[in-house]
Amino acid sequence: MALDRALYPLLHAVAQGAQWVGTDAYPSNALVADEHEAWLEFIKREGALDRYLPRLRGPKEKRDETLAEIGVAYFLVTLCGLTIFEWEPPGAGGKMGEFLVGVDRREAIFVEVKAPGWEDEIAKAEGQTSLRLQQPKYIRGDARATGPWASVRHAVKKAYPKMLDTVPTLLVINDDLIVSLPSWGKSVVDMALYTPKSPRQTSGYLAEDGPFATREYERLGGVGVLDVRFGSSVEYRFDLFENPYALRTVALPPKVAEGYPRYTAADVEPTRVEGEPWFADVLKDEEWLRDPSKKALEEALRVIAELEEHRAGDHTGGAK
């Protein structure tokens, strides 16, 4: 899609001299362009556009990673009513986070954003020389075994060294995987974060403790999963998962992302206030336990089929 300077002045300006121009079909349609223009207007109002411009003009992977970060800021401020008090705040070990955000400066949350992409997902599974990396993200009939739980754990491991122990901390995952994390349903994130390891397993998600199954990641207050869907309209979906082992100083304030699903320590292991955690049925599923890769492939095929059916419905009548 060509970027009309009159309709998209900021996107047009970003594209000037950008390394990604001509390497893909971005922006794929007017709905994406409209929303991303709004994101850029937002960071311009916040005085942060110049901070992001070099990354926005980088290769397409860097552009997408940067837009994912901006999208999180836009969501938290515009749709959750929070305020950004500081961009690139200092974190642990001299590392910087994305921003400090909250209702009150005294309870400002240190936010880190991770945006695992489908290219990295393929490279980890098939190697950097995989021919699949030279093809578009979506190919009809293409499906493969994936480990979405591994993307969650990897994001936590990468973000954790930045986390302070003196303020509330939050990791937001805004992914671009072949099948986005929210499309799997919350069970995959539950499994990734809260599942304790099983001594009988040497591979798969049961081979190690989830980050929120022990105190190993006690400086991380919670993980949010954001999904921005571009269908017939733009839809923001967000789930917030709290760490039952988090230090009191890093626990997330109660008014963060009000109106969106929030899973608390009372809902999950190890507190087990009553009943079983919501992912108990998944952990008892013999197919997941016996052959996680086969089960993941089946789930990927199911979700991709649903996405294709949804897209076909959106494009009925030749609309694009």
For the stretch 209-220, pLDDT in tens is 999 999 999 999
Question: In the prediction, which pLDDT does 319 show?
Answer: 38
- This prediction has a pTM of 0.79
What does the pLDDT read at residue 296? 55
pLDDT at 116: 84
Contacting residues for 235 by C-beta, under 8 A, at least 6 apart: 228, 229
Instruction: Name the nearest CA neighbour of 316 among 231, 198, 204, 243.
Output: 231
Q: What is the DSSP string of 150-213?
A: HHHHHHHHHHGGG--SSS-EEEEE--B-SS-GGGG-HHHHHHHHHPPP-TT-SSSGGGS--TTS
Within a 10 A sphere around the Cβ of 100, how many other Cβ atoms? 20
Rounded-to-10 torsion of CA 132, 138, 141, 142: 30
Assess whether pLDDT exceeds 80 at residue 279. Answer: no
The fraction of the chain above a pLDDT of 70, given in percent, is 72
Report the distance separating Cα 108 and Cα 205, nearest Å. Answer: 33
Nearest to 119, CA basis, from 128, 108, 109: 128
Amino acid at 24: D
**Bridge-partner residues for 110, per DSSP?**
100, 169
Q: What is the mean pLDDT of residues 234-254?
A: 95
Q: What are the residues whose beta carbons fall under 8 Å from the beta carbon of 114, sequence distance 6 or more?
A: 155, 158, 159, 171, 172, 173, 174
Average pLDDT over residues 232-249: 95
**pLDDT band of 231, cuts 50, 70, 90:** confident
Alpha-carbon span 238 to 117, nearest angstrom: 18
Task: Please tell me the number of Cα atoms within 13 Å of 187 on its side-chain side.
Answer: 13
- Which residue(s) pair with 114 in the sheet? 173
More confident residue, 283 or 228: 228
Which is nearest to 111 in space by CA: 265, 263, 250? Answer: 250
The dihedral built from the CA positions of residue 139, 144, 148 and 153, taken in this order, carries a sign that is negative
Residue 105 CB: number of other CB atoms within 10 A?
10
* Residue matched to tokens 């998209």: 8
Read off the pLDDT of residues 2-46 as tens digits, 9 standing for 90 and up: 889 999 999 999 999 999 999 988 998 999 999 999 999 999 999
Q: Which amino acid is located at 42 in the chain?
A: F
How high is the pLDDT of residue 184? 76
Question: Does residue 111 sit in helix, strand or coil?
Answer: strand
Average pLDDT, the chain: 81
Q: Domain locations in the chain?
A: 1-58, 82-314
> Over 80: is that where the pLDDT of 308 sits?
no
Residue 60 Cα distances to 119, 162, 252, angstroms: 11, 26, 33
Alpha helices in the chain (DSSP H): 9-15, 30-45, 49-56, 60-74, 118-126, 148-159, 186-194, 280-284, 286-290, 292-314
